[in-house]
Structure 1
């Protein structure tokens, strides 16, 4: 024990009067003795006699004179600290009330306070940390003693200290006991507005408000404070982990994992151990790994290095999942070394300490913690025991991770495969709730409600790939010519080996079909040729694939050439499909951005359909977003966005031509519908459709205008490098002329605009169109 004065923050100037005195402690002892009947009473009497008999311990005391009262101070320590506490490990001291001046304490605490980097207790008192924040402990005591109001109880702090040996933070809780402090005030106490104080409890202005009405200079603190410092590294690390998990949405994925791993390292207190969390996720009840995003896993890196392949790695992981256990390098006898031989191979990576700890959530293994170190004997029972305290939190993290992945999968499914978009989700929620509310146990299920949106304005657009059908037929025809040529060569080689007349008969059929490709339409031929190749020819060749090695080698070359993924007999179709895929992927990405841009302006419903190109419907109106005021200006804005986007798509697909092995051009079509319509969700088709006889006309027109011709010339309305806008109402045409004029000024559209009358369609007449070129 040491009796000496130590000011742990010389920069801090007390704004109030702090007096060292033992009078309040002596009064406390007298009250306890009067109430005490146990064996403690005699000890209390002994301590009281020592303090009362020494006149120098009464009244105000100079802390620099306390070294002459070591016997009394030792008794005070014995009285306040458990006799079983190890003084060498106990951080305890006495201080002037509400002051950073220590005058008596354990060697451990004085040593800790004099560490150069230690600001543990200093932070608890310092006002430099926040110039606008007054000492909370002082105000907490004032509110409690003088007003009977102490909602925060500010008498302890947790502060970090970097450990010199490990370089890791250690956390200490500083507890300040003020029960032996007497509080007096120099002026009359003002009346406080406790409602206002409560409202500001969590704000930084709480103590500033009190400081304005209760200046600390008006108070006297007499007695002494007791400071106890406790190492709470484990508890604080667990609390940090809990906070990180709860607030995971506040972090980026990468920083989230790094913070969690750092907190785990702080928990185990060993900087030489690396930790990796491996969540075990399942899709369709099968184990999956995101191999690209598994970083720092020794076991996974080893398996990849051994070129085991993804399937084998998943097989081994499933084997471990079937019987999860703690695997510990250096303790191979705890598991079957043949079954888990990889653990014994870990040392090849330079890892001398290694362990795998399974983590369970509701009795299901949700992941593992992997621990590794390049040093020997780093992972021991103490490390595992500390990590075990965090296993429930880690289990929650891994479960959250798995749930997040599943939620993302569901979100993708909703976004990519079903029409359940955020703009209409609320309506589905309402109907689903009504269905749930009306459902009764042991009763027939009620009818599900109808999802309907009335009086919405539709916008339709179509991007078509010109001559895609002709290109498909051409590619198929060219590939079939290659295949029949190879087949004839194969059969001729086969005929010279097996000497069967039947071979010549099949060759004759092949030659006839090859010749017909030059004279007949592929549409009429492809079914007949497909049956011939897959039924007659393949069954014939199958016999010789199995009969002997020589014929199998002859046929193998044909089989290789007719492989759909790599063979030359599918080369033209693959090139065409790749070109089509390039165009459609680019268009879809562009439309995704367009839909988000439109939705940011006003909620609307955006639905795409895959054809030889892409078609889409957009619906906008008050019924889709009943909580947001709707105005016709939103419709005008979205029409301009659509026209501008069609020009952008035309430019985009034109720029893709150098990348395509088969040059494909696109046409752009917009249908302008003058009136609002009603739509409803069709459960059988899982999509929205128009409702009512009048509205069906809109759907009919959409389906028929893609191949409409110009009345004056007979040419197709849709042409590459141009946007066609079909309409009935001249007023709508004038509105779009304004948009076209604006985009011409932006050098997006050409200056020439064609006005066209269109041929009559079945049940539809009076159609007109505007057509304008795109500036490249």
Structure 2
């Protein structure tokens, strides 16, 4: 019986192949010819019956490709294939008769027909893992085996995916019996030599080469294939679980959980089930939600986390956490309505409309790692019997969770390193080298030692964009907040004095007024601490006492509501200041980080930056860092010029933010670059988790770096760093000439103004002879603004 739709009159139409195909039963009939003389007369008679059909219909032996003949000889074909498709087993066996590389079936068992009928009229039967673009080459490999005796093992398992009556996808493995085929080279077909074979072995994907060795339609194919098909849904479901769990970034994949649901539906043969997970936190004895697209936990429902003892009853707690065994609830509603159990997991399942569930522990030798949750909105479909099917899949889920936990720990460690103790990519190779040596010593039974990480002969570059007057701005904000807080307290105490004429209230008023006066005229370093201590130790107990007086309660409540929970004080103006500083630092650091990507692409170098009242950065460049014989002073000069240009851009970005955002606290910035011409050595300080300079002479660089921005111009009280200007500090005449060249270049690009000055600095401790180039920065109102402005022009814009 013909099962497939026929779109062509000939089975060779619209197919490029080395084969010219004909369906023929010649080799099958040859088997019957040997059975004519069998001792068993029933077997001999049956053989004569089959051969009589063939003798009466020669085309069945000779072969045909006309698709119309399948219908014409339908009864005869069934007669010839009667033994292969036994009527006694037809409702049990899943079997078809086909031709290769065609989704074309011309005889099938009743069981197979029933499976297709259940799948529905619109179901399109396809071999799922048949590589269509490789069928020509696969046909050639068959020829190599059949005609030339080359033993090429190209067998791959092929499958059908066919839904059942409930819409559950079932998997069927196809095993081919090719005993009844003949492959015959046509006249003038090129023969394959050993040399040809050797060439083909290394060129599987070179289709043109294969076609040159096996031209289209150069071999006659006669015969047919019997496909024995087996339901391997359970095995394939387990395999699919393995494959699904192996994939990376599963939590980001929108299809991951839906695929996972489908796999478990196939495994359990149930359509309406869902799968969830919860992670076990051993340290806190809690269940936690697994984060990811489509991830759910039916044990937690809407909670992010829950104590295990709050999520489970005593029995289920011991079952999962102590015994590491699964349990099922086949009828949630029945247990819930009986009132016999007030188990938390029963309540949470019932609230979600879940009627049956299986909870399986994901546990290894170290204990519980999480819970696999399978649920259904139908009662009894999940139970202790089908829960046994999980035995075969749990090892793979456990392995995946172990790997996921390891990956998460590595990710956490990477984030900690990135955010807290970052190792810059330029020097990571050196740390990796020492780590490998450390592991090697451990494996060889030696005492492992992480050797010193040092780089010699590197050139330092240091720069900072400092917020000018930050201390004064902070003090001003503190004064305003304390004044506001003391005045609120004073109003309450004065009101209390009217209600209760106690001398102590007058004394507190006097003390408050004294503090208010000191804030205006004599603000000291310890003023904030003294006032805060006074409020906490003396005023707050009084205010809590006064809360009992109804007429004061509203004012006192307003006061406490205005107090910040973290600072335990009014935190209004200081918050404005802190937010401004935080925003400036964040934006400046972000811009510097973006620009660093470009600089690293020019030539690799070590870079670190950190936030204070502004943003500072260190860079080191040299042969020992790049570990390649490629360093040239040109890369140092390039980095110095890049640094100047970027600091001008950072100044511009800051003042553009001032114009656009109107910060609540108006602050200025000043930029400085420190030039140090001599190469030095740096080493990684394990205790401080950062690089520092090595040696006494090199330490001079660190001394200058920490003190120079506070230095005065010689013979004056003027700081060397000034708002609106970039300052370049140096000690060598060669450095002066070099940086003046950079200044002239940046002037030509309208980064810098023309007011260049060279000044001498006062002597610092153990450091003398420092000089500085100062020049004003030119500004733009926005990135697209081609005009440029001086600092004074910009201040007028900001204050307008």
Q: TM-score, normalised by structure 1?
A: 0.80
1:487 CA displacement: 3.7
Could you say which residue in structure 2 is the equivalent of 1:76? 84
1:215 maps to 2:215: yes
Residues 188, 475 of structure 1: CA spacing in aligned structure 2 closer, same or farther, 3 A cutoff?
Answer: closer
C-alpha spacing 1:606/1:75, structure 2 compared with 1 (3 Å): same
Partner residue, 1:471: 473
Q: Identify if the C-alpha distance between structure 1 residues 453 and 530 changes in structure 2 by more than 3 Å, giving closer, same or farther.
A: same
Deviates more, 1:237-246 or 1:112-121: 112-121
Cα shift at 1:70: 4.3
Matched, 1:726 2:729: yes
Report the counterpart of residue 651 of structure 1 in structure 2: 652
Q: CA deviation at 1:637?
A: 3.9
Aligned to 2:579: 578
Residue 755 of structure 1: CA displacement?
2.6
The match for 2:414 is 411
- Report the CA distance between 1:92 and its aligned residue: 1.6
CA apart distance, 1:687: 0.9
**CA-CA distance at 1:438 after TM superposition:** 3.5
Matched residue SS, 2:642: helix
Structure 2 CA distance for partners of 1:375 and 1:283, relative to 1, 3 Å = closer
Would you say the 8 A contact 2:673–2:728 is kept in 1? yes
Q: Could you tell me which residue of structure 2 aligns to residue 462 of structure 1?
A: 464
- The structure-2 alpha-carbon separation of the partners of 1:279 and 1:454, relative to structure 1 and needing over 3 Å to count, comes to farther
Task: Deviation per CA, 1:283-339: give whole Å up to 9, x if none.
Answer: 9767585798675748599647xxxxx676898569887864656584256689875
Greater CA drift, 617-626 or 187-196: 187-196
Tell me, yes or no, if structure 1 residue 684 matches structure 2 residue 653: no
Match of 1:182 in 2: 182
Q: Does the residue aligned with 1:752 lie in a helix, a strand or coil?
A: coil
Q: Does 1:591 align with 2:587?
A: no
Is 1:67 aligned with 2:70? no
Residue 611 (structure 1) aligns with? 612
* 1:484 is the counterpart of 2:486: yes
Instruction: Please state how far the C-alpha of 1:466 moved relative to its aligned partner.
Output: 1.2
The TM-score, its normalising length taken from structure 2, stands at 0.78
Aligned-partner SS, 1:695: helix
| Post-superposition CA distance 1:461-497 (Å, at most 9, x none) | 1121111111122222222223333444444555667
Superposition CA RMSD, Å: 4.7
Q: The residue matched to 1:409 in structure 2 has which SS?
A: helix
**Cα distance change of structure 1 residues 169 and 8 upon mapping to structure 2, 3 Å threshold:** farther
Does the aligned pair in 2 maintain the 1:604–1:621 contact within 8 Å? Answer: yes
- Larger deviation, residues 372-381 vs 707-716: 372-381
- Alpha-carbon distance between aligned partners in 2 of 1:322 and 1:494, rounded to the nearest angstrom: 61
Counterparts of 1:601-750 in structure 2, within 5 Å, are 601-627=602-628, 629-657=630-658, 658-711=661-714, 714-744=717-747, 746-747=749-750, 749-750=751-752
Shift of 1:537: 1.6
List per-residue Cα deviations over 1:245-264 (Å, max 9, x = no partner). 33325x89244635644653
CA 370–43 in structure 1, closer or farther in 2 if over 3 Å, else same: farther
Shift of 1:690: 0.5
Query: Residue 16 of structure 1 contacts residue 219 of structure 1 at CA under 8 Å; is this kept in 2?
Result: yes
Most deviating of 466-475 and 88-97: 88-97
Q: Please state whether the residue corresponding to 2:82 is helix, strand or coil.
A: helix
Deviation at 1:699, TM superposition (A): 1.3
User: Does the CA contact (< 8 Å) of 1:267 and 1:387 recur in 2?
Assistant: no
The alignment status of 1:764 with 2:775, answered yes or no, reads no
Asked whether the 8 Å contact 2:752–2:776 carries over to 1, the reply is yes
Contact 2:358–2:387, Cα closer than 8 Å, also in 1: no
Specify the SS of the correspondent of 2:726: strand
Consecutive unaligned residues in structure 2, runs of 5 or more: 65-69, 321-325, 781-800
C-alpha distance after superposition, 1:133-167 (max 9, x if no partner): 44355333322234443444246533556x49677
Q: Alignment partner of 1:437: what SS?
A: helix
C-alpha distance after superposition, 1:721-756 (max 9, x if no partner): 332222234444454455455555555x14325232
Residues 224-264 of structure 1, C-alpha deviations (whole Å, 9 max, x = no match): 31123445555445444433433325x89244635644653
* Equivalent residue number for residue 513 of structure 1: 515
SS at match of 2:192: coil
Aligned length: 746
Q: Bigger CA drift: 473-482 or 282-291?
A: 282-291
Q: Does 1:191 align with 2:193?
A: yes
Q: Any conservation in 1 of the 2:486–2:516 contact (CA below 8 Å)?
A: yes
| CA distance in structure 2 between the partners assigned to 1:69 and 1:295 by the alignment | 52
Instruction: Select the residue among 766, 773, 776 that pairs with 2:777.
Output: 773
Contact 1:100/1:125, CA 8 A, preserved across alignment? no
1:3-402 residue pairs with structure 2 within 5 A?
10=11, 11-13=13-15, 15-25=18-28, 51=50, 56=55, 59-60=61-62, 64-65=72-73, 67-68=75-76, 70-78=78-86, 87-88=90-91, 90-95=93-98, 102-109=105-112, 117=122, 119-120=124-125, 129-130=132-133, 133-154=134-155, 156-160=157-161, 163=163, 171-186=171-186, 189-193=191-195, 194-201=197-204, 204-205=205-206, 208-215=208-215, 217-232=217-232, 235-248=235-248, 253-255=252-254, 257=256, 260-261=259-260, 263-264=262-263, 267=266, 273=272, 275=274, 277-280=276-279, 282=281, 297=296, 303=302, 316=310, 324=320, 328=329, 330-332=331-333, 340=343, 344=347, 351=353, 355=357, 357-358=359-360, 360-362=362-364, 364-368=367-371, 390-402=393-405
664-673 vs 9-18, greater mean Cα deviation: 9-18
User: 1:461–1:670: 8 Å Cα contact kept in structure 2?
Assistant: yes
Partner of 1:307: none
Q: 1:446 to 1:764 in 2, by over 3 A?
A: farther
> Is it true that 1:420 corresponds to 2:423 in the alignment?
yes
CA contact (8 A) 1:22 1:224 kept: yes
Q: Which has the higher mean CA deviation after the structures are superposed, 365-374 or 590-599? A: 365-374
Secondary structure class of the residue paired with 1:614: strand
Secondary structure of 1:760's partner? coil
Q: Distance in 2 between matches of 1:442 and 1:403?
A: 25
Structure 1 unaligned spans of 5+: 305-309
CA distance in 2, matches of 1:564, 1:405: 34
Aligned equivalent of 1:429:
432
Distance 1:283 1:496, change over 3 A: farther
Q: CA deviation at 1:422?
A: 2.7
Deviation string for 1:113-136 (max 9, x for gaps)? 79765554578889xx43xx4435
Please report how far the alpha carbon of residue 570 of structure 1 lies from its aligned counterpart in structure 2 after TM superposition. 2.8
- Does the CA-based 8 Å contact 2:97-2:225 persist in structure 1? yes
* Residue aligned with 2:625, SS: coil
Partner of 2:787: none
- Counterparts of 1:233 and 1:572, CA distance in 2: 68
Does the 8 Å CA contact 1:7/1:102 hold for their aligned counterparts?
Answer: no
Distance 1:317 1:55, change over 3 A: closer
Secondary structure of the residue aligned to 1:92 is strand
Q: Output one character per residue of 1:353-398: Cα deviation in whole Å (capped at 9) or x when no partner.
A: 5646445142654445556677888767898677776544444455
**C-alpha distance in 2 between matches for 1:533 and 1:710:** 44
- CA shift, 1:681, in A, is 0.6
Query: Aligned to 2:729, what secondary structure does the other structure show?
Result: strand
* Contact 2:755-2:776 within 8 A present in 1 as well: yes
